[in-house]
Amino acid sequence: MNIRELVAMARKAQESSYSPYSNFKVGAALKVSNGKVYTGTNIENSSYGLTICAERVAAFKAISDGETKFKYIVITGNGKGYIYPCGACLQVLAEFSDDLQVIITDENNNYKALGLHDLLPRAFKTGQ
Ligand code: THU
């Protein structure tokens, strides 16, 4: 599964976005250490604060399937320019990865890879 294929999977998941309030559709494709890929999309709610981001949906699908070592996550969206993951998602992703590569895309499917450590250099950890 190469990056182009992961971008296509994220784009496909993005089509399922439930985002009637923001009209901002996000897709994510998360590759875990054994090569499996879990996709996610953002799911909004009329009680706005209950919205969940695409990245966390993908992460929680993987974790509930017993996959807790994350390698790559591709993020797509229907905005202009590169889509960066929010801070809450970075914190969740940091729990399950030492060296996650975050691959962000723009509206033309150009992509660039960034280290999770660069995006969130000081993730909260209890040390346990
Ligand atoms: N959103 C994501 O899915 N991922 C992010 O990293 C940031 C924001 C969603 C949440 C909401 O449904 C919409 O984008 C607008 O904030």
CATH number at residue 58: 3.40.140.10
Q: What atom in ligand 1 is closest to the CA of residue 17?
A: 12
Which listed residue (5, 44, 55, 95) is catalytic? 55
The DSSP code for 36 is -
Please tell me the distance from the alpha carbon of residue 56 to that of residue 115, in angstroms, as a whole number.
17
Quick one: pLDDT band at residue 1, thresholds 50, 70, 90?
confident
Q: Which residue has the tokens 């150009």?
A: 110
- One DSSP character per residue, 78-124 reads SSSSPPPPPHHHHHHHHTT-SSPEEEEE-TT--EEEEEHHHH-TT--
Residue 128 lies in a domain: no
For residue 127, tell me if it sits in a domain. Answer: no
Residue-wise pLDDT for 14-37, tens only, equals 999 999 999 999 999 999 999 999
Q: Is the shortest distance between the CB of 17 and ligand 1 below 6 Å?
A: no
Please check whether residue 126 lies inside any domain of the structure: no
Averaged pLDDT, 86-108: 97
Number of domains in the chain: 1
In this structure, the residue with its CA closest to atom 7 of ligand 1 is 86
- pLDDT, position 50: 98
Index of the ligand 1 atom closest to the CA of residue 43: 12
Is residue 80 domain-resident? yes
Does the active-site annotation cover 55? yes
Ligand 1: which residue has its CA nearest to atom 4?
53
Domain assignment of residue 56, given as a range = 3-119
